[in-house]
Structure 1
Amino acid sequence: MLLTFSLVACKDKATVKEDEKDGKTTIRVVYKDEGPSNPVAQAYFSNLEKALKEDEKIDVKFELVEVPQGNYAEKLNLMLFSGDIPDMIYFQGGDQQIAEQDLLEDLTPYIEKSKHIKNILQPYNEKRLNNYPYLLWIKPLDSKTPVVRGDWFNQLSSSKELMENPTIDNYYKFFKELVASAPGGGKPANAVTVAGDITELDFIFEMAFGINQTWLKKEDGTYEYSKASNKEKEKLTFYNKLYNEGLLDPQYLTKQWDTKEKAFYDGETGVIVGTSGKVIDIYNGKMTQVNGEEAELVVLPPAKGESQGFAPTDITKEPRGIAISSQSKHKETVFQILDYLASPKGQMLDRLGFEKEHYNITDGQIELTQKYYNEWYAKFFEPSDFETEKPLKTPLLSEPAMKSQELAKEYYAEDNSFIIPEEYVSKWDAMENLYKEYATDIITGKRPVDDFEKFVKEWNAAGGEELTKYANENIK
């Protein structure tokens, strides 16, 4: 009750903002890393203003809202709960509690009458929107794929066997040789690093251990939570082996995305994991810029065992995306902007960046610059079919990036996870933190592997037994 009251009491703060500037409608936007202190973001939204006016006669002024440094989801929610609610909001977690306060607009009727968005939705987008109609995120499958620099890969005798038969054992052999042979002239110090937890490592190995869904079906037909299963114990035992032998970066817990990437470009680690498509493209551009064309990335397959894949795809909801505030006076205009960004003209800006910076028109063709490959990414949408106004002289994605997308599609599988009911959310958060604590301690050797049985007991006592019952009653 107190939370609801605080939101209502502060709601006027969101409407006090000026709606008109110089005769233009002001659209307030909050978007991680795309705030007013980012000159590229300022240029992007300035160009978008011009394009909207020229192509659609939509006259707006974007006001970018800065979010304080720190955990984006937490800082954003603090801002929203204070009553400062921009028109267009990018979420990267934390959106459910905002939606539960009826502060996010149901996008279903807007999409149904859209000109462009309804035509570029993928089947998994449609399923997610049917389950949770508040976030829009039209991107290729967001599976993460492992990569290694090509010059090192080509020096290793275990590379061929890994590609032909990527078993857990062959991955282990590859990691061992990667460190032992020191193809970097005394480096790398470790075979693989990840950003802060084992999530990225799971994209390589989890399905090989038979963890192919969040809720695993047992022989008796009932379901158990994958992280409390014997298969999880086997996976953590393997990760502990990688850690003990120095193959998994001993500093992985303190790595952030930027320090992880720097270690990769500097040759301090052999393999990192990145989102298929554009992120792999950026990794490849930076790697070849630092270490030469021969270092072009090689995309590695997911490990093969009981199952094979990078990760099952969650279709309960979009894990991140763009929302429209239900408190906004300009909901229709905000959606018109989003629909324009899904159009061929809107995609020219969103996908290609700025002319004479990220691309040039040469002999009637679009020639992408190195800066495009090194840094540009679509701020909003990346539909699978995108035809440019002029022919492309150079491809949108490098070969490794395209390969990563192909593999993501090849190994697509749907998860059976579900949105955690509100009455279980606080328990679920505590249960997940309990898992992270035990998993970290087991991997790093602070606890013996057999302590996994203690974790399962504590997890069940903390709410796992109730939630497992709920899962068995509701998974179809």
Structure 2
Amino acid sequence: MKRTRFKMVLTILLLGAMLVTGCTSGKSKDSGTLSPDNPVKFSWLVYDRVEGKVRDDWEIFKEIEAKTGVKLEFQIVSQEGLEEKRQIMIATNTATDFIQVPTQDGREHGPEKVFLNLKDYLDKAPNLKAFYEKYPEAKALATGTDGGLYTVPVLEGDAEGKGFNFIWYARKDIMDKDGIKPPTSVDEFYQYLKTLKQNYPDSYPLISNTIVGDTGLYTTFGRVFTGISGFYNIDPTTEQYAFAPYHSNYKDMLVFLNKLYSEKLLDPEYSLLTQAQWEERILTGKSLVTYFWKADLESLVAKARGAGTADYELDAIPSFAVEGIKNYQFSRPVVGTVGRAISAKVKDKERAVQFLDYLVGDEGGNYLSLGIEGKTYTMEDGKPVYNKEFGASPFNTLRKDWGVWYDLITLNNAKSREVWERGLSEKSKDINARYEQYIIPAPKQIVKTEEELELEKSKLNNLNKYLEQKVTEFVTGKTPINETTYQQFIDQAKKFGSDELLNMYNTAYTRTYSK
């Protein structure tokens, strides 16, 4: 009797286990292939850009829904609140179905079942499979410690490494009127600023919109004097990471900037300026020279003329570097630092991957990067060109009215930029041609181990704060520049971990790309 009752209980338990297994099978939750006859909804985290807010009636997504059956529900946050919202979603495993995250977050949290492992679905995602094969750097950045693939990194630059973002701006109308020639060396640049100050004594000729970052004063002149772009970066002459303040010319850079500051050739508030203040001073002639995004040159000219300065004209002046230092600028990186991920909790996993695959492919990718043929772009000589009515900065209209080339939505900024540059004015094309000689391929990104990440988190932020503060003190004269003070500066940087970080970057870089 007992044996019979035991068998009955065991049978019931086994049947229950089989039912549970059948109900929880990942494949049973999926609903087939993409089709307009089989609609599905996916949520997507986005933020409102200054060019225009996210809209639910953008035509490209109506077209995409008609082709795929996928309706997107955008979860919108402010740009300021984006990072906090994203981190909360990751920490609580409540990410939207589609979300853009730093590739490092994908590698770190994908194996924790926060993001879907795309590798498990590549047999049904030919575009994704081809993407990882074509861009091994993207595959390296997407691969977690378990070997899974958790993001689709956003493409930023062309594979040839020719596209670039930044130029030296100067007031061409003033140069033409006063017969001032553009400088081609550091010494000539100094004399150039002196002449501008002499002719326009109420101006502070040189201005910077920030002190660090791509267009930062310290970044720009660090490269001019040492060949290192930023505090840490690849030295293109050695293909190794370097720490700019260790270079013998870094003190010379501080002396040079201090000279510009003390002679009122550099805006005295350079370290405090907001973006709006920078723009106002450039537009009104309070400052005359800057290093900035090339894409903004023509729109700034239009703003100044619209405000009443009819002869206002900006043009690029040559890049320059001290003798013995490579005169260069890095191209846009081919692969960006962020990537599209799918939540591991998405209900319809297979169709979510198929949709991401569609967006990586030509048709879906063109909707996100180009828009709709005949409405946002036309074909000329077999190649797309944005509608000329959108002007010199087509991205403003494309983003606002169409959702095209929109951050956190598009996957291929490189394609958008290529089309934009194809339709540039002759002036902008001429600037590109003049700067081509300086452009070299950007360094590839590093894949760091957990230990290396912890080292970076524990050291880099405090080191950067110290460097920014101390360099500013040197430039503004608060701290005199001599052998003693500079050695103290270096010694303190070492205490903050400059050597450990430098060794880590070189170790990680070699490990990532020595295969």
TM-score above 0.5: yes
Which of 281, 301, 304 aligns to 2:318? It is 301
- The structure with the largest alpha-carbon Rg is 2
Structure 1, unpaired ranges of 5+ = 1-22, 356-364
Contact 2:227–2:326 (8 Å) recurs in 1: no
Q: 2:488 maps to which residue?
A: 454
**Residue type of the alignment partner of 2:271:** L
Which of 31, 38, 52 aligns to 1:40? It is 52
**Within the alignment, does 1:100 sit opposite 2:115 as a pair?**
no
Q: Distance in 1 between matches of 2:395 and 2:371?
A: 17
Q: 1:336 aligns to what SS in structure 2?
A: helix
Identity %: 14
**Residue type of the alignment partner of 1:252:** Y
1:20-419 alignment runs, 5 A limit: 25-34=40-49, 40-43=52-55, 46-54=58-66, 56-67=67-78, 69=80, 73=83, 76-78=86-88, 80-90=90-100, 96-97=104-105, 99-102=107-110, 103=114, 113-114=126-127, 118=131, 126=135, 128-133=137-142, 134=151, 135-139=153-157, 141-160=163-182, 162=183, 166-182=184-200, 188-197=203-212, 199-200=214-215, 201-202=217-218, 204-212=220-228, 214=233, 224-276=242-294, 278-290=295-307, 294-305=311-322, 306-312=324-330, 318-319=336-337, 321-327=338-344, 329=346, 330-339=352-361, 343-344=365-366, 346-349=368-371, 366-370=387-391, 372=393, 375-376=396-397, 378-379=405-406, 380=410, 381-383=412-414, 396-406=423-433, 409-413=436-440, 414-415=442-443, 418-419=446-447
Contact 2:212–2:218 (8 Å) recurs in 1: no
**Residue type of the alignment partner of 2:492:** E
Q: Distance in 2 between matches of 1:271 and 1:332?
A: 49
**Residue type of the alignment partner of 2:499:** E
Deviations 1:330-368 (A, max 9, x none): 34324423545764455432899869xxxxxxxxx9432
Deviations 1:354-385 (A, max 9, x none): 69xxxxxxxxx943244855934632334469
Q: Kindly state the Cα deviation for residue 403 of structure 1 after the two structures are TM-superposed.
A: 4.2
Contact 2:165–2:332 (8 Å) recurs in 1: no
Q: 1:18 maps to which residue?
A: none
Q: Distance in 2 between matches of 1:105 and 1:407?
A: 45
Structure 2, unpaired ranges of 5+ = 1-37, 143-150, 347-351, 378-385, 399-404, 511-515
Q: 2:472 maps to which residue?
A: 440
Structure 1 residues 459 and 386, CA gap change in structure 2 (3 angstroms)? closer
Which of 441, 455, 479 aligns to 1:424? It is 455
CA RMSD of aligned residues (A): 4.4
Q: Distance in 2 between matches of 1:111 and 1:261?
A: 49
Structure 1 residues 90 and 241, CA gap change in structure 2 (3 angstroms)? farther
Contact 1:431–1:462 (8 Å) recurs in 2: yes
**Residue type of the alignment partner of 1:467:** L
Q: TM-score when scaled to structure 1?
A: 0.71
Q: Kindly state the Cα deviation for residue 432 of structure 1 after the two structures are TM-superposed.
A: 2.1
Contact 2:224–2:320 (8 Å) recurs in 1: yes
Contact 1:144–1:203 (8 Å) recurs in 2: no
